[in-house]
């Protein structure tokens, strides 16, 4: 027979055991990692915005030297407009269609900028223009920052998605954070995956 004064002690010990078990399972991993994903995504957006801000100056500089390259200039401006006018839904990180559309818009800017910089090779005066050189350098630095930001985002998503898919954190997430969803990550286009053919 249990003594009446031992019942509260047993309850307290049981609560302490449950709390210790929950803390050992890191019940805060999901929200902490979700915030890390959001911070990494913000940095990706920040770097894409930096690139978008550089484009008008670059286009104006090239326009002064390469008026006959109007098609390429128009493609760059249109790609930038399309990417910057896209309204990002609140669930973009867990919405595959919206994420893919965002990724395609940013890839279009990258492709258009690549064509613009290739065109500049045909204009020696443009290639030696200080404004163009400074903008080209800033753009190259921004592309490197975008790569780093995307890498950090991919790593944060990997950690978060692994937490949502492995046991026991999967159970904890289902119980405490039922709205937690797997996040999308960047992919490589099929064109980029193809091995370039070198012909001599």
Per-residue pLDDT of 176-191, as tens digits, reads 999 999 999 998 766 6
Identify the pLDDT of residue 197. Answer: 53
CATH number, domain 27-188, options 3.40.50.1950, 1.20.1440.20, 3.40.640.10, 3.30.413.10 = 1.20.1440.20
H/E segment holding residue 195: none
Place of tokens 């937490």: 163
DSSP code, position 92: G
Length of the chain: 200
Peptide bond into 128 cis (omega under 30): no
Per-residue pLDDT of 107-150, as tens digits, reads 999 999 999 998 888 898 888 889 899 999 999 999 999 999 99
Which residues of the chain have a pLDDT value below 70? 1-6, 16-25, 189-200
Identify the pLDDT of residue 138. Answer: 94
């Amino acid at each position: 027979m249990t003594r009446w004064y031992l019942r509260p002690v047993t309850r307290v010990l049981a609560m302490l055991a449950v709390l210790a078990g929950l803390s050992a399972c890191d019940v805060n991993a999901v929200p902490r990692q979700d915030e890390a994903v959001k911070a990494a995504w913000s940095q990706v957006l920040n770097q894409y915005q930096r690139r978008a801000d550089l484009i008008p100056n670059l286009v104006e500089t090239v326009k002064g030297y390469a008026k006959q390259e109007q098609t390429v200039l128009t493609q760059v401006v249109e790609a930038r407009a399309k990417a910057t006018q896209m309204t990002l839904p609140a669930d973009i990180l867990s919405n595959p269609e919206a994420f893919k559309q965002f990724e395609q818009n940013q890839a279009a800017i990258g492709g258009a900028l690549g064509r613009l910089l290739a065109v500049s090779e045909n204009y020696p005066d443009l290639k030696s223009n200080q404004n163009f050189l400074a903008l080209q350098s800033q753009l190259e630095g921004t592309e490197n920052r975008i790569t780093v930001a995307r890498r950090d985002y991919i790593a944060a998503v990997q950690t978060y998605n692994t937490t949502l898919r492995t046991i026991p954190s999967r159970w904890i997430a289902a119980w405490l954070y039922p709205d937690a969803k797997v996040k999308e990550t960047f992919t490589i286009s099929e064109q980029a995956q193809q091995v370039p053919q070198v012909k001599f």
